[in-house]
Chain A
């Protein structure tokens, strides 16, 4: 029986949302944990089943229509699902890593009063994310796209009684809105030109013999604006570091492993379109590279353990976009896949550290944790090595492929892209090992009180860490881009550069170890060397820890004028003067006329009669006169 398996995958987390949201607070934590973790795990197994069906069938994809939304003229808006190799991989990541993080959350959020609310939001997120990756048309994808934005907003502002956290949620939501405007415009253009929103039809139309009557680059750029919002690329990257205000498992699931890769997924999904949009692809490559580079430089000076990871996520997403920009779609998705493992592991490890430190997130006040929380340390170290690109861990393979295609792809690759990307990789390795050293290896800088409380996390948390660390270690041996080849063709490599492939791999490995060595030299003894360097390059340090003042720039260029216009034009002139003024005028006019007229009501019966008689007499006279 193969009926409606895809619909089932999508609906399971939604059921969890309703059960936990409506009944959770009454039925207690046991119920919430079972429903909140059980349904995503069921969805994971349903996905595995669908995956085996996909492998068994000859067709390239399973398609399923769940519901016809509306029929307008000749066009049917359908909620339809599409399960090809790309969707399958993304769904496996979302449900698999998602389930792990749900399990981890049962430990991490154990004592939170909003336990049921937390799990219902998390399930809601999974529902929308699955809608996003399984949707057959841009429309369904967009519904999921907006939905994950909502879930992200709800979870960033989960502790909404802290105004700073609530503000971070709003910032994420509003920044995403800007990107969504681009997404919508791109969608309208495609519908206008092609009359369909189905991904397979769009790719087929652009790959077909007759070019569609719309500029692929324009559509591609508009959709990329949407992707920059969701995947935190310059210039819309500002929300992601602030999003760390949410609970740490949320940062791991939404802001590292799954949701932020939605932009990558969108571009990869529409590879047929982007293959015919070289200008848009160039923009994507440059924006991705710039983001990778700038975010990596910022991460070097951050002192909040989660902020370092956040900027590292932004930087890694930039590398993925670089891969997309040079046409290596499968490689970008490969990095999405490995990144999901090691970044989830890093974030959850950070959560375990924060848990052990009773809420402290400043790495300057940590150190020496390796002996106290050994499981967290080992898993964190594996994931760090993976993201730094130490072979043979997962990150090495995916990052190396990205660097190679940035260098040698016929579709826009160049040595400049490679050099800057390699430098970003060097920075990545440096700041990740810096984090590792400052948190775990240097002598302890904790005060006595905090040191006394340090404890290893419960099994529900460390178990998940171990699983993710193993996946980070071995994930790279599954070459996703070969698996995705039928869906997403690989770019043509420049034959003349083939002989450079091995030397470049050597350089990539050297870069990873150089970062390790640099971090070791600077941070092995604690903060002293770093502080000397900081004083030497005070100006640079200020710019970097000020995050290039992008937030301040936006505030000055957009925030302040908008505030001024709202306050002085729309509030004072528009609302208070025009709208309130005209309404107040109308009411006072009515009051004054009514006041005058009410004097007729004297209460004297005979006076009324006199008026009636006069009226009758006048109307009689008028009738007499007009015959």
Chain B
């Protein structure tokens, strides 16, 4: 197994780990962290492909993704804080007021 394959396997593993985390954990904060993990898996695959093809554009794109991710977390954390202040819990099961 060469380096590229190894890195891609790692990125898939990170993504799946994040996905399973989002799906099975009930804590909103942990779910957010797992989402970051999924994002990192994707970003890693981006960098790997960029190195593999010998261009820089993939690496530049990664920074843009980080900026977006930071902004996203910047919004998500306050939302979680507001939710937590309202119900005094981080369990997402408590926030099902919109179900049909």
Q: Which residues of chain B are within 8 angstroms of A613 by Cβ–Cβ distance?
A: 19, 23
Of A466-474, A566-574, A601-609, the one touching chain B:
A601-609
A402→B96 CA distance, assembly (Å): 94
Residue of B nearest to A595 (CB): B100
**Other-chain residue from A599, A603, A606 in contact with B98 (beta carbon distance below 8 A):** A603
A206→B4 CA distance, assembly (Å): 104
A609→B92 CA distance, assembly (Å): 13
Shortest Cβ distance from residue A604 to the other chain B in the assembled complex, whole angstroms: 7
The number of residue pairs between A and B whose CB atoms lie closer than 8 Å in the complex comes to 25
A603→B92 CA distance, assembly (Å): 9
Q: Which residues of chain B are within 8 angstroms of A52 by Cβ–Cβ distance?
A: none
B88 interface residue, CB < 8 Å from A?
no
Q: Are A606 and B22 in contact (CB under 8 A)?
A: yes
Q: Which residues of chain A are within 8 angstroms of B24 by Cβ–Cβ distance?
A: 606
Residue of A nearest to B28 (CB): A605
A602→B99 CA distance, assembly (Å): 6
Q: Are B96 and A598 in contact (CB under 8 A)?
A: no
Q: Are B100 and A601 in contact (CB under 8 A)?
A: yes
Q: Which residues of chain B are within 8 angstroms of A602 by Cβ–Cβ distance?
A: 96, 99
Shortest Cβ distance from residue B32 to the other chain A in the assembled complex, whole angstroms: 12
Q: Are B23 and A610 in contact (CB under 8 A)?
A: yes
Q: Are A606 and B92 in contact (CB under 8 A)?
A: yes
A301→B97 CA distance, assembly (Å): 83
A601→B26 CA distance, assembly (Å): 18
Residue of A nearest to B19 (CB): A613
B78 interface residue, CB < 8 Å from A?
no
A599→B19 CA distance, assembly (Å): 25
Q: Are A609 and B23 in contact (CB under 8 A)?
A: yes
Question: How many residues on B have C-beta within 8 angstroms of the other chain's C-beta atoms?
Answer: 13
Shortest Cβ distance from residue A573 to the other chain B in the assembled complex, whole angstroms: 39
Q: Are B96 and A603 in contact (CB under 8 A)?
A: yes
Q: Which residues of chain A are within 8 angstroms of B92 by Cβ–Cβ distance?
A: 605-606
Question: How many residues on A have C-beta within 8 angstroms of the other chain's C-beta atoms?
Answer: 12
B74 interface residue, CB < 8 Å from A?
no
Residue of A nearest to B98 (CB): A603
**Other-chain residue from A601, A606, A609 in contact with B99 (beta carbon distance below 8 A):** A601
A609→B24 CA distance, assembly (Å): 10
B54 interface residue, CB < 8 Å from A?
no
Q: Are B96 and A606 in contact (CB under 8 A)?
A: no
Q: Are B100 and A606 in contact (CB under 8 A)?
A: no
Shortest Cβ distance from residue A605 to the other chain B in the assembled complex, whole angstroms: 5
A600→B97 CA distance, assembly (Å): 15
A69→B92 CA distance, assembly (Å): 71
Residues 1-46 of B at the A interface (beta carbon under 8 Å): 19, 22-24, 26
**Other-chain residue from A598, A605, A609, A610 in contact with B100 (beta carbon distance below 8 A):** A598
Residues 139-163 of A at the B interface (beta carbon under 8 Å): none
Q: Are A609 and B22 in contact (CB under 8 A)?
A: yes
Q: Which residues of chain B are within 8 angstroms of A600 by Cβ–Cβ distance?
A: 100
Q: Which residues of chain A are within 8 angstroms of B97 by Cβ–Cβ distance?
A: 603
Shortest Cβ distance from residue B31 to the other chain A in the assembled complex, whole angstroms: 8
Q: Which residues of chain A are within 8 angstroms of B19 by Cβ–Cβ distance?
A: 613
Most chain A beta-carbon neighbours within 10 Å: one of B23, B95, B97: B23
Shortest Cβ distance from residue B22 to the other chain A in the assembled complex, whole angstroms: 6
Most chain A beta-carbon neighbours within 10 Å: one of B96, B97, B98, B100: B100
- Residue pairs across A and B with Cβ atoms less than 8 A apart, 25 shown, are A598-B100, A599-B100, A600-B100, A601-B99, A601-B100, A602-B96, A602-B99, A603-B96, A603-B97, A603-B98, A603-B99, A604-B93, A604-B96, A605-B92, A605-B95, A606-B22, A606-B23, A606-B24, A606-B26, A606-B92, A609-B22, A609-B23, A610-B23, A613-B19, A613-B23
Residues in chain B within 8 A of chain A (CB atoms): 19, 22-24, 26, 92-93, 95-100
List 11 additional contacts besides A603-B98, A609-B23; criterion CB under 8 Å: A600-B100, A601-B99, A601-B100, A603-B99, A604-B96, A605-B92, A605-B95, A606-B22, A606-B26, A613-B19, A613-B23
**8 cross-chain pairs, A with B, having the tightest CB-CB distances, nearest first:** A603-B96, A603-B99, A601-B100, A598-B100, A605-B92, A601-B99, A606-B23, A609-B23
